[in-house]
Structure 1
Amino acid sequence: MRVGLLRAVGAATALYGVTVTAVPDLLARPSGLADADGRVAEATRVSLRPLAWRDAASGAALALAPEGPALRTAALVRIAADFGDAVLLGGTLPDRSTRRKAVAVSVGWGALSVVGLLARGRRA
């Protein structure tokens, strides 16, 4: 397990989640969930906050869990969330280009956690 990589992914995810919880437009706009003028509906903001908070919580768990089973479980939760995002956002966002970007980002973050979980290496 590459503990340092998992901790970095966790910290980045937690920071992103807290930031998007506070400012959901940071996720809504690149996801194609804003109107033609770039405005994001309040209902969209309300809907995105729990997703962002999930990222904050799972990222914090990954960053802070003790090595061993707790860290493995936190990594698996993060992997499931990222690959789940790829499937769900990839199938539901408004346009093809946005769906592709969302899948790439989600799979990329999930893959980092997979590498961190499965790679042999020096422990932090």
Structure 2
Amino acid sequence: MASPLSRTLSSATAAYGVFALARPAHLWQALQAEQHSAGLELLARTFGVRDLAISSLAVFGRSDRTVRTAMALRIAMDLGDCALLATWTDDEDVRKKVLAVTLGWAGLNALALTVDRARG
């Protein structure tokens, strides 16, 4: 039961989950979408709950298989967030920000998962 990088990134994702629940306005502010603030705050809260649940599996999972499964789910969710949020906006700068954050986090999680498996 190792997976130190995966568990570390999952702890960081859990911290984001807490932040998303505490400050849901961050999402519409980052997307520069005040006209959609209520819906995006609900989405941010949904992200918070989802990220806490998946991260808990990775951080507290008793087996490497549980951690790997949680990481695969995390990566899939980041890619889904990318597809939905990047196509939602017409603002090119906002789209670039969405792509950088979602693909960047998916990539870091994939790298952590790959390194942990190689060390495994």
Q: TM-score with structure 1 length normalisation?
A: 0.82
Instruction: Give the Cα–Cα distance (whole angstroms) in 2 for the partners of residues 27 and 43 of structure 1.
Output: 10
Q: Secondary structure in 2 aligned to 1:14?
A: helix
Work out the percentage of aligned pairs sharing the same amino acid: 30
Instruction: Report 1 or 2 for greater relative contact order, CA contacts < 8 Å, sequence distance ≥ 6.
Output: 1
- 1:31 matched to 2:31? The reply is yes
Q: Secondary structure in 1 aligned to 2:95?
A: helix
Aligned match of 2:17:
17
Aligned match of 2:50:
54
Q: TM-score with structure 2 length normalisation?
A: 0.84
CA-to-partner distance for each residue in 1:9-64, whole Å, 9 max, x for gaps?
111111111111121012221122225xxxx7334322331122212222222222
The residue type equivalent to 1:30 in the other structure is A
Instruction: Give the Cα–Cα distance (whole angstroms) in 2 for the partners of residues 56 and 94 of structure 1.
Output: 30
Instruction: Give the Cα–Cα distance (whole angstroms) in 2 for the partners of residues 41 and 89 of structure 1.
Output: 14
Q: How many residues align?
A: 117
Structure 1 unaligned spans of 5+: none
1 or 2, which has the higher helix percentage? Answer: 2
Q: Secondary structure in 2 aligned to 1:29?
A: helix
The residue type equivalent to 1:90 in the other structure is A
1:114 to 81, 92, 110: 110
Instruction: Give the Cα–Cα distance (whole angstroms) in 1 for the partners of residues 4 and 111 of structure 2.
Output: 11
The structure 1 segments of at least 4 consecutive aligned residues displaced by more than 3 Å after TM superposition are 40-44
Structure 2 unaligned spans of 5+: none
Aligned match of 1:7:
7
Instruction: Give the Cα–Cα distance (whole angstroms) in 2 for the partners of residues 116 and 59 of structure 1.
Output: 14
